[in-house]
Amino acid sequence: MKIRYLGHSCFALTESTGTTIVTDPYGNVGFRMPPVKADAVTVSHSHYDHNNVGAVLGSPVVFDKEGQYEIGGVEITGIKSFHDDADGKRRGDNLIFKFRMDGLDVCHLGDLGEECSSSLIETLLPVHVLMIPVGGKYTINGEQAREYVDRIMPSIVIPMHYKTKGLTLDIDKPDDFLDYFEDDEVEYVEDNEIELFRDDISEDRTKIILMERVK
């Protein structure tokens, strides 16, 4: 499968069959969504920086509710969680989406804000590739994200929803999260796309991949 980082919390996930899913397309956050075509779009919640479905080309099917779905051979599961640590009383609900693509379990945590719990972890497992917010303020912060990584134990972690050049949102840079890991555990990818195979998955270690967004 291919993972293309479009910026903020938005990725284009493409299975080897060609089925493409876009996660959390954003409105104007200081930069604009690049053109992207998809078969489906997942929306974690209704805030403008995550629900700009109209920016995605190709008349995609929209998944914005919890449940189990299938499109083009890709299994999708929407899991209810909270956008804050007060059971959604401040910022509402958040949907986590899991995808089964090319034999890999991929998890996009959306704007997760709730504290790590055994019940949520058990619901999410197994996870091979984890896309996790690390910028704090509106989501979990670097320390909390580290706890999720430690308990989920994915093979690959891709940080998202953090301060980048041009972003107007008041959130933190990824450094606080990355500092919890050794230098050889973090890979800086200057491209905006990676390709993963089942053989890339290691049961013994976790790799953090920081990607450049599409410009």
CA torsion angle 201 79 76 100 (round to 10): 10
pLDDT tier for residue 204 given thresholds of 50, 70 and 90? confident
At 31-56, the pLDDT tens digits run 999 999 999 999 999 888 889 999 99
| pLDDT computed for residue 53 by the predictor | 97
CATH superfamily of 2-211: Ribonuclease Z/Hydroxyacylglutathione hydrolase-like (3.60.15.10)
Domain extent listing, the chain: 2-211
Structure confidence at residue 85 (pLDDT): 81
CB 13 within 8 A of CB 1: yes
Supply the Cα-derived Rg of the chain in whole angstroms: 16
Condensed to tens digits (0 to 9), the pLDDT of residues 178-188 reads: 999 999 999 99
pLDDT tens by residue, 77-93: 999 998 878 777 787 78
pLDDT, tens digit, 9 for 90 and up, residues 162-171: 999 999 999 9
Question: What does the pLDDT read at residue 94?
Answer: 96
How many whole angstroms separate alpha carbon 214 and alpha carbon 4?
Answer: 8
What pTM did the predictor assign?
0.96
